[in-house]
């Protein structure tokens, strides 16, 4: 009778199906990703998680994220700003890409068919098998561009 799949059970079955165990830590991290909407790094997830479990260790966050990624519930990405930090988000949305504003830090998500098209061409022309694609843009959003223009004018 339930209209939508219950992600909690989905988590459980995916874990068990891969010989893993369902732990409070994993449920917690998964729920944080589900609730918080968007784009968190490991440390931020850790901060949020510690509000529920003071004891939870950052290493566990990393290991949990790796598991959630492996069973396909979570996507790990790199954003433009600094490519040295891993960003995580729930793997539920349709294929999309990201732009990061260097001024205000906001991330804009967008869809486009062009990237998939590039992949298709790679497969055709080189016979490659793609397993992962990283695409990200950075620059300045409208507001931040305006702000910069204004400050230039003041000078």
Q: Secondary structure of 110-125 in the HEC alphabet? A: ECCCHHHHHHHHHHHH
127 token code pair:
């016979």
Q: How far apart are the first and last CA of the chain?
A: 65
Reduced to 3 states (helix: H, G, I; strand: E, B; else coil), residue 109 is strand
Q: Which does 104 bind (CB under 5 to 8 A by kind): Mn ion, Zn ion, its own copies, none?
A: Zn ion
Q: Judge contact between 109 and 95, C-beta under 8 A.
A: no
Pick between residue 91 and residue 141 the one whose CB is nearest to Zn ion: 141
Nearest by Cα to 98 from 76, 79, 73, 74? 79
Q: Rule CB under 7 A: which of 78-97 touch DNA?
A: 84-86
Tell me the backbone φ, ψ of residue 150, rounded to 5 degrees.
-60, -45
Site string for DNA, 29-68 (x = CB under 7 A): ------------xxx---------x-xxxxxx-xxx-xx-
Shortest Cβ distance from residue 98 to Mn ion (Å)? 6
Shortest Cβ distance from residue 145 to Zn ion (Å)? 8
Shortest Cβ distance from residue 87 to DNA (Å)? 8
Residues contributing to the site for DNA (CB under 7 A) = 12, 15-16, 19-26, 41-43, 53, 55-60, 62-64, 66-67, 84-86
Residues contributing to the site for Zn ion (CB under 5 A) = 101, 103-104, 141, 144
């Amino acid at each position: 009778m339930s209209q939508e799949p219950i992600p909690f059970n989905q988590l459980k079955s995916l874990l068990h199906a891969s010989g893993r165990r369902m732990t409070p830590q994993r449920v917690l991290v998964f729920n944080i990703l589900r609730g918080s909407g968007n784009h968190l790094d490991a440390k931020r997830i850790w901060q949020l998680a510690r509000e529920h479990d003071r004891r939870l260790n950052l290493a566990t966050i990393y290991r949990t994220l790796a598991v959630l990624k492996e069973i396909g519930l979570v996507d790990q990405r790199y954003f433009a700003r600094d490519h040295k930090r891993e960003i995580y988000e729930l793997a539920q949305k349709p294929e999309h890409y990201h732009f990061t504003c260097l001024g205000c830090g906001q991330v804009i998500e967008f869809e486009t068919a062009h990237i998939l098209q590039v992949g298709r061409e790679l497969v055709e022309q080189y016979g490659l098998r793609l397993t992962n694609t990283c695409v990200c843009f950075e620059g300045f959003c409208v507001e931040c561009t305006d702000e910069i223009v204004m400050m230039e004018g003041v000078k």
